Amino acid sequence: MNVTELARKLKITPNKLKEIMPLIGFDIGFKAIKVDPKMAQAILEKMSDPAMREKYLSDSVVEIKKETSREKGGSDTEQFRQVEIPERIVVKELARRMNVAPANLILELMKSGVMAPLNQYIDFETASIIAEDMGYAVVKTEEEMEKEKEIDSKSMLGIKEETASERPPIIVVMGHVDHGKTKLLDAIRQTNIMEGEAGGITQHIGAYQVEKDGRLLTFIDTPGHEAFSAMRSRGAKVADIAILLVAADDGVQPQTIEALAHIRKAELPFIVAINKIDKPGANVDKVKTDLANIGLTPEDWGGKTICVEVSAKEKINIPLLLENLFLTADLNKDTIVANVDAPAAGTIVETHIDKGEGPVATVLIQNGVLRRNDLVRIGEVPGKIRLMKNWKGELVDEAVPSMPVKILGLKAVPGVGDILQVMGNQKEMRRLTKTRVKEFSKATTVGLGTAEKNKEDEDDEQKPRVRIILKSDVLGSVEAIIESLDKVHKRGVGVEIIKQGLGNITEKDIEQAGGLSAVVLGFNVKITPEAKRLAVDKKVEAEVFGVIYDLLDFIEKKVVELAGVEIIEKEIGRLRVLAIFRTEKKEQIIGGRVESGKAIGGARAKVERKGEIIGQVEVRGVESGRTKVKEVAEGQECGLCIEGKLSVEKNDQLKIFVVEEEKKHEG
């Protein structure tokens, strides 16, 4: 057993454990990393005695840390610090409170056997042991887990429970990328939204309604890619019930765990849908084991988690899933309520600017009835409901609770997550109209870790940066991109968003970029012909993207270039394709022989056909004898799972390579 794990069970620090072990008859050396399982059990049994714990563990954490500090030659004030930690805390927030780089904190967690990404919650015991190991005294606090104060949604929306009646439940679908969330909604509502998504990835929040057996259900589809963490969190806050989707052939993944954290934080009842049970590689028992390992024991295993095995593609068990949703809604009917006679209120789930219609917002009505010509305020943004459209694009005159509608007639673009409220008179409307709406162009600096930012505040202006003007079709995408850019940094080089906005790239954007040595990037927008000509004249780099992966890759290359390093493609092996076992829209399962070097998962491959390179694919995994392996050596045959838009054919050659960074040679 790992020493750190044993210390965690005893609720002490690893150093303290090593100090007391010789005193209780177990001398393993201060540099030991692991303990024999039998010895570990004996230590646990011995330390379970209250008298022993009182004798050896009575020292406070403060005294232990002060002693450790003095042993290292530092003073109490220099080495000893204090951190407040609640019952549960997000890794990123813990790093901020300790004023350490998030990457360093994650590394310490990994050393202790805890695999937790930035946005995952860890419990107090885990957080306190890690903090103590890093030289902090821990104070437990009952404060909120996040710095931001949560608004009481019921009071904000004006819901009065004593006069409220039932409304259709709002359901959020959450899970890892490519696990089939949109396909599942596709199967439920018998439409085909997914084909309209770039790269097959859902990149906006969509709200839809379906009717089953005379009852309505409202579904919110949230993106699964890690860049859309903020959007997933927002989706959970407006929902009544969650569906946590897990693919039967892929199991629990990082965004699955993060989605579960959002669901738990919002205290939502939820159902687990195990999708893709029709696929040859499906392993439902393994998925259930994965679920049990993260505290979700299925009902048929004696637990309390409802698990429904479905296939969105083959429409298997979709009615059973809906039955369980209705059952869950009935069990929570006291909280799924609204006042029909109250002034309308709801949450904005998406916004954009339409060339012909102006500012457009999608609002999910949560209380009251919104009617055409109502005067509304969304934060400080006023408007009069000129038109309303349901999710099918049909004009409607009113929107009842749990109904999503697109509204036109706003004076400016509201913020995603803002609350819409109906105003009672023209006076309030006129006051808001005169209020200057803040321009959405605040400069944002991202790409430097918290500790690095604090350390370099004084000479921050001299740091090299990639300057960007970012334009997008919707606010949610801007937020997601900025959140992702915080992870893009090399050797102190950061990314500075000098302007962010909605709509197409215009001449004004190019003019600003030229004066500030910036690049102009667009996401799901176009460059006007005039702007394109001006960009050529002023030698301003302007690019548009339809898939977030491509935009982030472009920025990372710019950062790497400015950091004084270059990307090197290092060939590690060649493989001849012998057979094609399965071909899907974005994925293939192939068989081949490694002719030189080796084949590994997580690498890329150039596809050569008849002596000509025709494209690239990603090698997601490698199998040997139907067993997943890290690599396959020269001369051996293996199976590969590859991903990409290109279809590989028999007798193609894959030149497998990895991407490495090397410092540029000057001169």
Residue 368 DSSP one-character state = S
∠ Cα 405 406 411 (to 5°) = 130
Same domain membership, residue 135 and residue 19: yes
CA 193-197-203 angle, to 5 degrees, is: 105
Number of domains in the chain: 5
Please report where in the chains the tokens 């399962």 appear, as a residue. 589
**pLDDT single digits (tens) 454-479:** 344 444 445 677 888 988 877 667 76
pLDDT in tens, 63-86: 444 444 444 444 444 344 788 888
Look at residue 663 in the predicted model and tell me its pLDDT.
59
> Which residue would you say has higher pLDDT here, 487 or 583?
583
526 and 605 both lie in a single domain: no
Are 169 and 135 part of one and the same domain? Answer: no
Q: What percent of the chain has pLDDT over 70?
A: 75
Length of the chain: 667
Q: Could you report the per-residue pLDDT of 147-158, keeping only the tens digit for each?
A: 333 444 555 566
Task: Name the domain boundary from 111, 140, 169.
Answer: 140
CATH number at residue 656: 2.40.30.10
DSSP 8-state assignment for residue 87: S
**Which tokens belong to 276?**
């893709």
Burial of 235 (0-12, 13-18, 19+ CB in 10 A): buried
Write the CA distances from 183 to 213, 247, 312, 363, integer angstroms: 22, 12, 6, 23
Nearest CA to 550 out of 215, 203, 186 is that of 203
List pLDDT tens digits, range 624-663: 877 888 889 999 999 999 988 788 999 999 999 987 766 5
* Domain assignment of residue 388, yes or no: no
Highest mean pLDDT among 82-91, 97-106, 351-360, 603-612: 603-612
Q: Are strands 215-221 and 170-175 parallel, antiparallel or unpaired?
A: parallel
Same domain, 135 and 18: yes
Greater confidence (593 vs 503) lies with 593
More confident residue, 667 or 535: 535
The domain that contains 473 carries what CATH number? Answer: 3.40.50.10050
* Tens-digit pLDDT profile for residues 504-516: 898 888 988 887 8
Report the CATH number that the domain containing residue 315 is assigned in CATH: 3.40.50.300
Position 453 in a domain: yes
Residues 170 and 308 in one domain: yes
pLDDT of residue 597: 93
Per-residue pLDDT band for 212 (boundaries 50, 70, 90) equals confident
Does 613 fall in a domain?
Answer: yes
Residues 234, 243: Cα–Cα separation, whole Å:
15
pLDDT digits (tens, 9 = 90+) for 426-438: 666 566 555 433 4
The verdict on 170 and 319 lying in the same domain is: yes
Same domain? 220 vs 369: no
The average confidence (pLDDT) of the chain is: 77
Of 563, 592, 615, the last residue of a domain is: 563
DSSP string across 102-121 = HHHHHHHHHHTT----TT-E
Q: What is the pTM (predicted TM-score) of this model?
A: 0.50
Instruction: Mark whether 411 and 529 lie in a shared domain.
Output: no
**Assigned domain for 91 exists:** yes
**Is residue 167 domain-shared with residue 207, that is, in the same domain?**
yes
Ramachandran assignment for 643, one of left (phi > 0), alpha (psi -120 to 50 degrees), beta (any other)? beta
Checking if the pLDDT of 301 tops 80, the result is yes
Tens digits of residue pLDDT in 277-300: 998 888 999 999 989 888 899 999
* Whether 415 contacts 359, CB under 8 Å: no
Would you say 128 and 65 are in contact if contact means Cβ atoms under 8 Å apart?
A: no
The answer to the question of residue 327 being in a domain is yes
Answer yes or no: do 307 and 353 share one domain.
no
pLDDT at 325: 93
Q: Specify the residue for token string 């390179």.
A: 613
Q: Are residues 198 and 92 in the same domain?
A: no
Q: Is residue 272 part of a domain?
A: yes
pLDDT tens figures, 542-599: 999 887 778 888 888 887 777 665 667 889 999 999 999 888 877 899 999 999 999 9
Query: What pLDDT is stored for residue 194 in this prediction?
Result: 44
- Hey, is 331 helix, strand or coil? helix
Domain end (from 532, 563, 594): 563
Q: Which domain holds residue 468?
A: 444-563
Residue 152 lies in a domain: no
The tens digit of pLDDT for each residue in 390-448 reads 888 889 999 999 999 999 888 777 777 778 888 866 666 566 555 433 433 334 444 43
Question: 346 pLDDT band (50/70/90 cuts)?
Answer: confident
Average pLDDT over residues 31-35: 63
Mind listing the pLDDT tens digit for each residue in 104-157?
888 888 776 677 777 677 878 788 888 887 888 888 775 443 433 344 455 556
CB atoms within 10 A of CB 11: 12
Residue 109 lies in a domain: yes
Instruction: Give the mean pLDDT of 308-321.
Output: 91
pLDDT of residue 442: 39
**Domain co-membership, 172 together with 321:** yes
